[in-house]
Amino acid sequence: MSTLRAVKGMNDVLPEEISRWRRIEEAFWRIVGRHGYGEVRTPVVEPTALFVRSIGEATDIVEKEMYTFTDKGDHSLTLRPEGTASAVRAYVQHSVQNREPVTKWAYLGPMFRRERPARGRYRQFWQAGVEVYGDPGPFVDAEMIHMVVTLMRELGVEDVEVLINSLGSGDTRQRYLDALLAYLTPHRDALSADSQRRLETNPLRVLDSKAPEDKEIAAGAPKILDFLDEEDAAHFQELQDTLTALGTPFRVEPTLVRGLDYYSRTLFEVLGHGGELGAQNTLCGGGRYDGLVEQLGGPRTPAIGFAMGIERLLLVMGGEDAAPQPDVFVVIPHASARREAVVLLDALRAAGLTADADLRGGSTKSQFRRADKSNAKVALVAGPSELERGVVQLKDLAAGTQEEVAREEAPARARAIVFGENA
Ligand code: HAM
């Protein structure tokens, strides 16, 4: 029988890798917490219509990448490909706008897209993201972009590039689309097959195609920034001025359109350079989506958010993996002492120590080897003769010293060595 493996593009994260994941997660919660975001947890599965209506029918995600299935009740459900649609659904469903004028939500969890797996591109991947409802910006836009850069810096990821653009709002986008179509249509035959198709369904996406023939044509296309109305232009200018005031460098990238339909006005991406990142170097993407809450049945509410890919951050972040390590390793020289050893371990853990043992028993030598390998600071030897006398042998593994201590005092004495406390 063939052995079962994880689904292609979906990864296990083993304990020795978790320390770096935790560093990202802790830094994320620390920084968003400082900015007043509250955590929201939404289901991993949503009605398919939610994503079709928000991300857009003609996007890569909805056209090709969703994990969609019919459940036994004949409902079409989809594993969430991103977090924004679910957050808006929850915001509308719980009428959150009635409780507070501005809502700041943060989330972290797995997302699912059936993309072609590559380094930094997976079919299950983790995003940490935020969404703000009720604030039209542009100050919150700048603050959010600056927050991402601060987070990256805290994680030691310095070599990043912030790209920004504005898609304008309502009317602007339509006027631009008309001009873009007028420009692209005569070049139709020279475009890649994908872009020819997009010309019909989603012409903005032709602009960020990676195909060389498309890039050349896109370079000559009209620029959306020339189409912004006065208010959109002022919004975009203030965003830039506030970023400058915050000391966050950025580059205006007029071809930045991003692959989801819900955006309006501010768009941004943070690119990473170096580390083990390959072509998938967009660490974070986000933007404003002032029409989506209303489109999904809520009141007219401006909104902005971003999400960053945790696996991609791991590829640039550096730092060592670290397996969990005990403070104290209990060596059990005789099988008959194992029950007492379990009780001793419990006392050590109750005293706040991380304690482990090989409860299978085995040779004392091999247990000491494990104690050494585990990097524990203290080894306790609890054999039948010690236990009979109500003592244990306590070894300070760094100092190489050994003492006999009363069993009840072992946790305090071990703490003294591990944490430098007075026993
Ligand atoms: P997105 O650009 O589709 O935006 O994804 C955001 C980030 O998730 C990307 O920059 C990347 O780091 C990571 N990512 C996306 N797909 C994959 C993948 N297949 N494998 C690994 N990492 C991936 C959104 O999802 C929007 N919801 C962001 C947003 C929030 N906009 C407004 N609010």
- How many of the other CB atoms lie within 10 Å of CB of 30? 11
The domain in which residue 99 lies consists of 15-169+229-316
**Cβ pair 348, 355 in contact under 8 A:** yes
Question: Among the three residues 262, 286, 316, which one is the final residue of a domain in this structure?
Answer: 316
Same domain, 266 and 300: yes
Average pLDDT across the chain, whole number: 94
Phi, psi of 257 (to 5 degrees): -120, -25
Q: Provide the domain count of the chain.
A: 2
Same domain, 94 and 235: yes
Could you give the CA distance from residue 91 to residue 103 in angstroms, rounded to a whole number? 9
Higher pLDDT, 40 or 324: 40
End-to-end CA distance of the chain: 57
Q: What mean pLDDT is predicted for residues 136-151?
A: 97
Distance 12 CA to ligand 1 centre (A): 20
Which residue do the tokens 């994941």 mark?
Answer: 21
Q: How confident is the model at residue 423 (pLDDT cuts 50, 70, 90)?
A: low
**In ligand 1, which atom is closest to the CA atom of 122?**
20
**Cβ pair 266, 304 in contact under 8 A:** yes
Could you give the CA distance from residue 19 to residue 16 in angstroms, rounded to a whole number? 7
Higher pLDDT, 372 or 108: 108
Question: Among the three residues 284, 316, 348, which one is the final residue of a domain in this structure?
Answer: 316
For residue 357, give the nearest of 365, 366, 345 by alpha carbon: 345
Q: Looking at 142-151, 193-202, 375-384, which range is the least confident one?
A: 193-202
Same domain, 263 and 359: no
Domain annotation covers residue 213: no
> Ligand 1: which of 51, 282, 308, 316 to mutate, most ligand atoms within 8 Å of CB?
282
Q: What mean pLDDT is predicted for residues 345-351?
A: 97
Distance 307 CA to ligand 1 centre (A): 6
Task: Supply the pLDDT for residue 285.
Answer: 98
